[in-house]
Amino acid sequence: MKVKGHLRKMKTSVHQSDVQYFMRLVDKDHNEIELIDFNKELGKKISLKSNGIYSCVHCKKETKKSYSQGYCFECFSTLAECDMCIVKPETCHYDQGTCRDPRWAERYCMRPHYVYLANSSGVKVGITRETQLPTRWIDQGAVQGLPLLLVDTRHLSGLMEVELAKTISDKTNWRKMLQGNDEEIDLKQKAKELLPSLSSLIEDYGAEILDAEIQHFHYPVLEYPEKINSLSFEKTPEISGKLLGIKGQYLILDQGVLNIRKYNALSVELSL
């Protein structure tokens, strides 16, 4: 089977903690071409060949370089979803009247957000919109996730995250995550230890303290790599090998690991 199209972040679903992956390819107008059950490709040889052309996920302009996972430079420089406050929500400037697109912010930022704990490469804190769990955890390769708080806006979730990041990490060590040495962590106990540090913010801004259950995730992996070799289309236009596993948004091949999300919007020919 061969199919050509532009890559998109893999679609995921969960059934009884088992993660299912689907490879997505779209045409130049962003219409879906294929949605392939990639769990069924485990143990088989796959190949991805790139011509180095991206189709901007917003304006569809073809470019040779991508910014912020799939945008052309003009969109990256002007769209609200590419502003620095998306990466650092504690710097939100909506209230100052300088948001790039207030209507976009009202749909995506001025909405309830979770502050959560996850076990991806060890315990970490993170934030996401109320509609993005458990997708956010899966994209980070987390084996456990626990919603901690529900707050009114992305800005407030960012303030909470910054405070918790003084004690625990707010980033995933992707190399460690892909080694598969996942020790179970008592996230509820960790939450009890961390919540007092947020008491002032909760008192000033308000938040719903959640009593949720820990969610667990098992990934389709036949074999984890002993040494992490990162594969890149910039160095190798055609990447192929036996598919040994999928975790986060990474394909684990016998030749190395490939971050599919990094190449969002890239034109490829996929051979199975």
Global pTM reads 0.95
Q: What is the C-alpha to C-alpha distance for residues 85 and 158, in angstroms, rounded to an integer? A: 9
Does 140 have pLDDT greater than 90? yes
Res 143: pLDDT = 98
Strand 144-151 relative to strand 45-55, pairing: unpaired
Closest among 21, 3, 16, 13 to 249, alpha carbons compared: 21
DSSP-derived letter for residue 259 is: E
28-68 residue pLDDT tens: 899 999 999 999 999 999 999 999 999 999 999 999 999 99
Determine how many CB atoms are found less than 10 A away from the CB of residue 6. Answer: 25
SS3 label, residue 9: strand
Tell me phi and psi for residue 51, to 5 degrees: -100, 5
Q: How confident is the model at residue 181 (pLDDT cuts 50, 70, 90)?
A: confident
pLDDT, one tens digit per residue, over 210-244 is 999 999 999 999 999 999 999 999 999 999 999 99
DSSP string, 96-113: GT--S-HHHHHHHTSS-E
The per-residue pLDDT of the chain, averaged, comes to: 97
Decide: 210 and 192 in contact? Cβ < 8 Å: no
In the prediction, which pLDDT does 269 show?
98
pLDDT of residue 28: 87
* pLDDT > 90? residue 207: yes
Q: Is the pLDDT score of 132 beyond 90? A: yes
Q: Provide the sign of the torsion angle of the four alpha carbons 31, 68, 132, 23, taken in this order.
A: positive
